[in-house]
């Protein structure tokens, strides 16, 4: 286990709207508002054709090859995650979310292109006093959090 300590900073209440790509919009917001690190919670809906990463093709393969799943219709959505800077200092969102429709559910990472259907409500809670960042791991290809 690795860890660092952080303190709460500003809290932002955000509404993403129809057609916005979740990770692009929230990373842009963080950059424009000087948010380097944050926790994020969200609730709303994902549009048809949104794509999620839903596991590795082979858990033993290196580098890891992700499985992608496309949502065939509009789905309810709830997710939680973090923002930390990458090695170049850019705020990078990592959110896992659950998506549901008519009694079926999917879950995965939003980074491959989740598009908002109508609205997505987001609470972004800034974290201060941490130097944590995401560093590319050459073995897996993941950007791993280094607290």
25-34: per-residue pLDDT in tens?
999 999 999 9
Query: Is 21 a domain residue?
Result: yes
d(CA 42, CA 120): 7
115: confidence class by pLDDT, cuts 50, 70, 90: very high
Query: Is 53 a domain residue?
Result: yes
Helices (H), 18-82: 22-32
41: confidence class by pLDDT, cuts 50, 70, 90: very high
The predicted structure's pLDDT at residue 6: 98
The predicted structure's pLDDT at residue 42: 98
Query: Is 66 a domain residue?
Result: yes
Query: Is 135 a domain residue?
Result: no
Q: Which residue has the tokens 């995401």?
A: 134
Q: How many CA atoms lie within 13 A of 101 on its CB side?
A: 12
CA-closest candidate to residue 93, choices 139, 43, 140, 29? 29
Domain count, the chain: 1
CA-closest candidate to residue 75, choices 94, 98, 95? 98
Here the CATH number for the domain that contains residue 108 is: 3.30.1330.80
145: confidence class by pLDDT, cuts 50, 70, 90: very high
Query: Is 23 a domain residue?
Result: yes
d(CA 75, CA 145): 29
Query: Is 137 a domain residue?
Result: no
- In tens, the pLDDT along 12-23 reads 999 999 999 999
Average pLDDT over residues 100-121: 97
Full domain range(s) for residue 73: 9-129
- In tens, the pLDDT along 48-99 reads 999 999 999 999 999 899 999 999 999 999 999 999 999 999 999 999 999 9
Query: Is 92 a domain residue?
Result: yes
Query: Is 42 a domain residue?
Result: yes
108: confidence class by pLDDT, cuts 50, 70, 90: very high
The predicted structure's pLDDT at residue 36: 97
């Amino acid at each position: 286990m690795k860890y660092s300590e952080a303190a709460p900073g500003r809290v932002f209440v955000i509404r993403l709207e129809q057609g916005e790509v979740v990770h692009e919009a929230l990373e842009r917001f963080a950059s424009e508002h000087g948010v380097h690190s944050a926790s994020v919670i969200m609730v709303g809906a994902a549009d048809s054709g949104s794509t999620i990463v839903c596991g590795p093709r082979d858990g033993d393969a290196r580098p890891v090859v992700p499985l992608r799943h496309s949502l065939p219709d509009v789905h309810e959505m709830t997710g939680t995650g973090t923002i930390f800077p990458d090695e170049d200092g850019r705020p990078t969102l990592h959110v896992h979310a659950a998506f549901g429709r008519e009694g079926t559910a999917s879950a995965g990472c939003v980074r491959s292109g989740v598009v908002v259907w109508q609205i997505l409500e987001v609470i972004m809670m800034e974290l201060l006093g941490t130097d944590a960042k995401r560093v590319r791991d050459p073995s897996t290809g993941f950007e791993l959090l280094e607290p």
